[in-house]
Structure 1
Amino acid sequence: MPELVRPTTIADLPCGQLEYRLERREKAVVVLFHGGHMRAGLALGEDVFAAAGHTTLVPSRPGYGRTPLSTGPSMQQYTNVIRRLCADLGITRIAAVVGISGGGPTAATMAAHHPDLVERLILVSAVGWLPYPDRWTRVGAHLGFAPMTERISWAGVRALARLAPDRCLRLMLRSSTTGSVDEVMAGIGAEDRAMLLSLFAQMRSGRGFLNDLQPTPDVTALIGQPTLVIATAADGGVPFVHAQSLTGAIRNAHLVVSRAPGHFVWLGADWPAIADRIQAFLGADPCPR
């Protein structure tokens, strides 16, 4: 199993501090924006791009890891920061921006506002511009992931992962599926269980998660790049209607429906076939814009 936790770098840019991880390979760059409770040092859902030989650039979004909220006061400003980072790193072409879960709006905004740099867009279990989350989830987020409480919340998760790993997995995966958590657990092998426990033990919300709940401008009408939207109808974290809405609103988007039993589509039995679809998508010539 590849290392989940990887070293990162800090860039001191005119617009502020930005944490990122750059793994250079022979092919063009893929920029990944991870979801809630994640940061640049946690590698999740990246294996398909590494296997295809793509360089990966993974920044921490505002409020996560060592990227302060002030680096990206708005989503468009933050994508301008990413463009500046790319210029400093000598990156003049992005084969695809990838938005995973809560990173979906950031990836879409990057594609919309920097079409001369970004060739494709990939959205995986991604949040769109429908109302999200529901009222009670929003209330719970403000209670459990506020600056004064998020450290305690994640300390409890780490303790549970260490003392009662199966119980921890059930607790954390329950909200990831619309179906039975027993079905999700039954489909997870020992290696994936170890990966998930390591992931949950490393997650932090910082100030980023509550920032993710703030409204942002809908940019879907501005996106002209070829777009791949990947989602499962069994996603309990981000409802499937978000994928349907994104596919309908982005004019050159194609929906790939996963059979995964929950939010983590990489754990689905059909992920190898979806990975092949992603590699073919990256290898195809982008449509003229």
Structure 2
Amino acid sequence: MTNTRRHGLDEHPTMLAELTAGRVEYRFDRRGPVTVVIFYGGHMRAGLSLGEEVFAEAGYSVLVPSRPGYGRTPVSTGESATGFADVTAALCAHLGITEVAAVVGVSGGGPTAVAMAARHPALVQRLLLQSAVGPLPWPDRRTRLGARIVFAPHTERVSWALVHSLMRYAPNAGLRILLRDLTLLPVRAVVANLRPEDRTRLVALFSRMRSGRGFTRDLKEVAAPEDQLRHAGRVSQPALVIATRQDAAVRFVHAEALAAALPHAELLESLADSHLVWFGRDWPLISERIHTFLAEGSSRTS
């Protein structure tokens, strides 16, 4: 038995699906017959979006599930990256999606995207990774200890309430605080280099983020990179790995490790100033490469 119900969450309406494996919150933006599945990283859920314009411009439908612990998807649904990859495949079947043009893994969503491509090759045509966590230890010990305090389930509400207040009353200070751990460059310069429209988008995004129980689960999940390496080696589809050397949150070596482990991978280096490659000056060029990458898959199946 499965059922869905609509629910408004922040910028985008989401749905709930009651699947055999558990409850899943998701957003399905229908634009055309071809669908892209996106797994966002830490502090993101189905009601939020980041960099999806590249898919909307090409007319792709977008399916975004909230990973376990985020939004209204319980930690118990899928539990691991492997488990949630299978849950998402079941969600696709529930929605009548028989083919996915690409599964997209963003940051901490990378391991789930790799697992889905590896375990469901008949469903997934291509793999696209953006600033994604790879088969290496992540994060460093200092970041891990700090995150366990700041983003623990019993403290994350207060932590994000402070962030949301900063974004409302002192957005420049808030941006400097949050971007400091996302860039290897001087953070004041990174904030100063933001275009006005990108600054506005970032403030709006950071004003809506929450961690729930998802981020502490992520920290436990990626502690065993051997599972990611095993999945990566089984990915038969073409893969495009996008990352910047200025990323302090997920170092560039993760992208290099992914490109080396995936049998059919292309590594595309972004010139972005931070983890947030969508705000780099070269994003229009990267968007063109993404369009071409996806179109190559469509042409081979048409």
- TM-score norm. by structure 2 comes to 0.92
The answer for unaligned runs of 5 or more in structure 1 is none
User: What SS does structure 1 have at the residue aligned with 2:122?
Assistant: coil
| Structure 2 residue aligned with 1:18 | 24
What is the distance in 2 between the residues matched to 1:4 and 1:189? 24
Query: Per-residue deviation at 1:103?
Result: 0.4
2:47 aligned partner: 41
Hey, what's the Cα distance between the residues in 2 that align with 1:27 and 1:175? 39
Structure 1 Cα separation of the partners of residues 233 and 163 of structure 2: 40
Amino acid at match of 2:64: V
- Of 212-221 and 249-258, more deviation after overlay is shown by 212-221
CA contact (8 A) 1:142 1:210 kept: yes
How many residues were matched structurally? 286
- CA offsets per residue over residues 102-127 of structure 1, 9 Å max, x none? 10001000001001100000000000
Aligned to 2:186: 180
Q: Does 1:227 align with 2:233?
A: no
The runs of at least 4 aligned residues of structure 1 exceeding 3 Å deviation read 285-288
Q: Is the 8 A contact 1:4 1:199 kept in 2?
A: no
| Aligned pairs (5 A) from 1:174-213 | 174-213=180-219
1:71-90 paired onto structure 2 within 5 Å: 71-90=77-96
CA offset at residue 186 of structure 1? 2.3
Percent sequence identity is: 55
CA apart distance, 1:78 = 1.2
CA distance in 2, matches of 1:14, 1:222: 26
Aligned partner of 1:251 among 263, 280, 297: 263
Distance change >3 Å, CA 154–CA 119, structure 1 → 2? same
The residue aligned with 2:133 is 127
After alignment, is 209-218 or 29-38 more displaced?
209-218
- Whole-angstrom CA distance in 2 between matches of 1:271 and 1:285: 21
Match for residue 102 of structure 1?
A: 108
Give matches, 1:111-122, under 5 Å: 111-122=117-128
C-alpha displacement at 1:88, in angstroms? 1.1
CA distance in 1 between counterparts of 2:163 and 2:78 reads: 29
Q: Deviations over 1:122-171 (max 9, x none)?
A: 00000011011000100001110111110010000011111111100111
The 2-side partners of 1:161 and 1:283 are apart by: 38
Residue aligning to 2:292: 280
Residue range with higher mean Cα deviation, 223-232 or 210-219 = 210-219
1:4 positional shift: 7.7
Deviations 1:159-215 (A, max 9, x none): 111111110011111111111112211221221111111111100001100111123
* Alpha-carbon distance between aligned partners in 2 of 1:165 and 1:49, rounded to the nearest angstrom: 29
Instruction: Give the aligned partner of residue 261 of structure 1.
Output: 273
AA matched with 2:172: D
Gaps of 5+ in 2: 1-8
Are 2:143 and 1:137 aligned?
A: yes
Structure-1 separation of matches of 2:26 and 2:38? 10
Partner of 1:146: 152
Between the aligned partners of 2:256 and 2:110, the Cα distance in structure 1 is 14
Please give the secondary structure, in 2, of the residue aligned with 1:7.
Answer: strand
Shift of 1:27: 4.1
Match of 1:60 in 2: 66
Question: What is the alpha-carbon root mean square deviation over aligned residues?
Answer: 1.5
For residues 235-268 of structure 1, what are the alpha-carbon distances to aligned partners after superposition, in whole Å with 9 as ceiling and x for unaligned? Answer: 1111000000000110100000000111111111
Aligned residue number for residue 9 of structure 1: 15
**Partner secondary structure for residue 182 of structure 1:** helix
Matches of 1:197 and 1:273, distance apart in 2: 24
Question: Is the 8 Å Cα contact of residues 125 and 297 (structure 2) preserved in structure 1?
Answer: no
Deviations 1:57-96 (A, max 9, x none): 0000000000001111222221111111111111000000
Q: Does 1:239 align with 2:245?
A: no
Contact 1:63-1:206 within 8 A present in 2 as well = yes
Q: Distance in 2 between matches of 1:106 and 1:211?
A: 13
